C-alpha cells in the first residue's frame, strides 16, 4: 500500500515555539530510551490528572499516547522494485481446524513479498462470517543476523479463504533453509494485544 506524501494541514508556524517543539522531540526520544521503546499506557487516573492540570482534553491525551504506541506504522515505506523470481515455500501450520500456509515468496532487488494464506471450513451461515472478529497477523524473521523489517500490506478473501501479503526489507536470502517466518496473531481495537496464537513456518 503506497503511502501518500505528507502535507502539513496548515502553512502557518509560530517560530516562537520552535525550541519548545524541539524539546518535545527530545523528551519523546528520552521516553523511548528509558523504556526500551516499551512504555505501556498511562492509567486513566493519570490521564484525568494531567488533563485537569494542563488544561487538555482527556481524549486528546489518549490520542497522543496511542500514537506513541504506533510509531512503527510510520517507518519509511519500502516499495518492491526490480522483480527477480518466485521462490516456492510450500510450508504450513494447522490449529483449531484453521490451515495457515506460505506457498511462495516473490523476490525483488530491494525486498521480498511473503504470501500468507488462511483457510478454514466455509460456513453456510452468513451471520457468523459477517460478525467474525477482525484479526491482524504480524510477521517477524528469525535465523539471520540481518535486521528485517516486515510490513503487513493487508489482504482479504471470501468464504473460507483469506490471503495476505507482507513486504520484507531488505530482501530475504534466496536460500531460506535457515530462515524462520514467525507469525503472531493480534486482536482489536489497537491490534497490539497478542491472542496467544503464534507459529513458525
Superfamily (CATH) of domain 83-200: Conserved domain protein. (2.60.40.1640)
What pLDDT score was predicted for residue 69? Answer: 87
All structural domains of the chain with their residue ranges:
17-74, 83-200
What pLDDT score was predicted for residue 157? Answer: 76
What pLDDT score was predicted for residue 87? Answer: 95
Helix extents (H) in the chain: 18-35, 44-54, 58-69, 126-130
What distance in Å separates the CA atoms of residue 58 and residue 42, rounded to the nearest whole number? 12
pLDDT 10s digits, 6-27: 888 999 999 999 999 999 999 9
Range in 33-42, 87-96, 145-154 with the lowest mean pLDDT: 145-154
**pLDDT: which is higher, 102 or 200:** 102
Report the mean per-residue pLDDT for the chain.
87
**pLDDT: which is higher, 190 or 129:** 190
Q: How many CA atoms lie within 13 A of 46 on its CB side?
A: 7
pLDDT 10s digits, 96-122: 888 999 999 999 999 999 999 999 887
pLDDT 10s digits, 26-51: 999 999 999 998 899 999 999 999 99
Band of pLDDT at residue 70, cut at 50, 70 and 90? confident
What pLDDT score was predicted for residue 143? Answer: 82
Residue 170 grid cell: 531488505
CB 134 within 8 A of CB 156: no
Q: What separation in angstroms does the CA of 108 have from each of 47, 82, 84, 143, 164? A: 46, 5, 5, 20, 18
Query: Span 70-77, mean pLDDT?
Result: 80
Amino acid at each position: 500500500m503506497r503511502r501518500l506524501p505528507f502535507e502539513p494541514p496548515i502553512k502557518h508556524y509560530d517560530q516562537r515555539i520552535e525550541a519548545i517543539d524541539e524539546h518535545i522531540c527530545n523528551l519523546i526520544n528520552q521516553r523511548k530510551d528509558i523504556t526500551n521503546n516499551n512504555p505501556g499506557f498511562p492509567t486513566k487516573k493519570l490521564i484525568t490528572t494531567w488533563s485537569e492540570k494542563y488544561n487538555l482534553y482527556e481524549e486528546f491525551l489518549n490520542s497522543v499516547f496511542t500514537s506513541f504506541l504506533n510509531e512503527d506504522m510510520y517507518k519509511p515505506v519500502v516499495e518492491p522494485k526490480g522483480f527477480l523470481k518466485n521462490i516456492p515455500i510450500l510450508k504450513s501450520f494447522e490449529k483449531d481446524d484453521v490451515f495457515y500456509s506460505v506457498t511462495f515468496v516473490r523476490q525483488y532487488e530491494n525486498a521480498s513479498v511473503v504470501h500468507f494464506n488462511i483457510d478454514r471450513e466455509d460456513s453456510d451461515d452468513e451471520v457468523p462470517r459477517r460478525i467474525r472478529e477482525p484479526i491482524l497477523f504480524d510477521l517477524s524473521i528469525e535465523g539471520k543476523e540481518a535486521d528485517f523489517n516486515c510490513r503487513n500490506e493487508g489482504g482479504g478473501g471470501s468464504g473460507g479463504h483469506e490471503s495476505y501479503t507482507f513486504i520484507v526489507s531488505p530482501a530475504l536470502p534466496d536460500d531460506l533453509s535457515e530462515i524462520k517466518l514467525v507469525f503472531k496473531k493480534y486482536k482489536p481495537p489497537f491490534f497490539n494485544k497478542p491472542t496467544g496464537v503464534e507459529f513458525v513456518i
